[in-house]
Structure 1
Amino acid sequence: MSIAASQTCVVPLADASDVGHARRIAQKLAQAHGHDETDAGRVALVVTELCTNVLKHAGHGELHLRALPRGDGRFGIEVLTLDRAQGFDAQACLADGYSSAGTQGIGMGAIARQAQVFDVYADTRGAVVLARLYAQGDSGTDLRFGVSQHALNGDPACGDTWHLAYDGQHVSALVIDGLGHGSEAEAAAQAGAAVFAQAPFAKAQQQLLAMHQAMTGTRGGAVALAHYDGCNARLSFTGIGNIGASLVNGSQWRGLASMPGIVGGQFRKTQVFDYADLNGNVLIMYSDGLQSRWNLKDYPGLVHRHPAVIAAVLHRDFCRGRDDVTVLVIDLELPNV
């Protein structure tokens, strides 16, 4: 199963009129990706409830949307809301009848029942709520990855890209940051991603050399590749340039090393680093549009939340705001796909 990059669709939430706008965008996204009237209606209902909760609870925030490929030609819809309020008691809010804003308190529990995947993280910095909705009768496994990708200033061209491939207990992941931003950076990143898509489980050094050839004549960029073998709980990682990457397991954290240089420009050598005994780890890869000073220890319990929630929290709190940004988070406890 191969999953190509897509930018996160962002809908600002500032007043009541934004709820209807968000609902229409989400419903159209669901319909465009094969959801029938009933399933698109579920997406619209969840978006309405989540966006209304943001306005009641936080005053303003954002809705993030993404279509999720299923491998059989079908798509799920990922819905995330983010805010910067003072947090709430997530467990209490899931109980019908509970309200922190004087309402009937039917929203959060209803959302959890409508979505096949539901998760929440809330603390004093704000809240992130996730719902993934698949078509009724879709019995496929939810892939526990999350991504937040945003172009600088909402530019339609994004110099970052990413790609994922699953094959049973194996996963291969790519993040590329084309130099600069805009259409030329995007062309560089897409040239490298096209090579990866052709053979995502090829040896990493072979992939990098092929990407280097494909990206020559473009601006070039930073590239990171991770291959995980779930049968043996081993990860190999190689990178050129300033793509950040970390393995997190509970309170333990270790950064993954990249070599200096520019793919498509000049670099001296590649080196593959191997990491063993990785059961229960989370892999986080990110472009330099994200600050590197984050630490999941500052977010108690976040490492155990869905990877899509982790990616959204990191983007919300550590985006530099002056470059394209990508955060890719993968749970290394893999289902068979």
Structure 2
Amino acid sequence: MDNDRTSALVDKLTAALARMPEESAQETGVVVVSDYPDAFSASATASAIAVTALRSADDASGANAPPGAESDQDTQTKFAISQIPTDIRNTATFTNTYHEFPLTIDAHRAFLKEFKDSWGFGQLRHDYFSTARKIAIRMGTIFQTIFVWNVGDNITNDLRIRKYHPDERIADFAVKIKQRTDLAVDFTNEGSWHVPDLAFAHADAYYPGVVIEASYAAQTLPFAELAQQYIQKSAGEIKVVVGLEIEYPAAKQGKIMVWKEKEGLAGATEAELVVDENFRHGEGTMNPDCKGLYLRLSDFCPDHMIPAEVKPLIAAPKYLGHDTGIHISASDLNYFVNIALQHHQRAEAHYTAQEEEQQQQQQQQQQE
């Protein structure tokens, strides 16, 4: 984005905040970044506006509002969200990249109509939890972008190899598994909405079979809550949810969590945590006891869509001496963290140098 567009965006946001009475700004939770210098890189535009969480969903005044009624809290939340810059360039050093706001289901539907066109790309994504009546805003970072891309690329490469499996039935099944990019998981009937970091699905399936979420931020993602949402609300068609949590900011620790569908009480579908271990520990070294991430081809597709003759073939890790599943070792995950961290540090160094240069120019202008 060029400087003119940046200036125009900042002017628009600053003007919007200036029109708000001080009390209203405090209620709405809009915070001027210059008042909180640690929240963003010093190189980020000082006039940019960020949003902090208003209050917990339990305190939302509109949580029990009747259908079609928008509460004052909804109005405040929508205004606050509208102030978030949708195309800030310096996303590499955001410390607060995950924010939750109370929002009713009807207000979320209105939000989708109002903001979907401008939020369908770039660094900002959102989740809506219909049960908790809250919306969560996610901001991407250079670290997360690089890390997630490498994880997805590894899985995609393994899937390409499976397309050449000597058994044609396995090859034909593998060729139908695709990565879905920037597509929301929309649980239309009950209102929830999520945009995962990575999703893989059978070409004929409505929901992805495997969802992967990653977190590298001061406030981590609610992985367990997301896993329950994905698996329960898809009635188990989303079969596996993977959480990758990287310690912020040092990235010395890295954890992998895996939830799978299971049948709960009265036949209800639930998410069961089956893997919870560090793949990276100590001073950023690989955990040799961690087995990494293993996904079966059957994980990517609802059971009723897998041909009966294929099910036993992909149940084992190997068939005819060739791998049938997808594996990312702890060593690979650790390597992906190192690569992402290098990019993150380079970006921070670049932004710091830019800021120092700007400060020097300002000092020279003042002296003149």
Whether TM-score is above 0.5 comes out as no
Q: Which has the higher contact order (CA 8 A, sep 6+)?
A: 1
Q: TM-score, normalised by structure 1?
A: 0.29
Q: TM-score, normalised by structure 2?
A: 0.27
Higher helix share: 2
Structure with the greater alpha carbon radius of gyration: 2
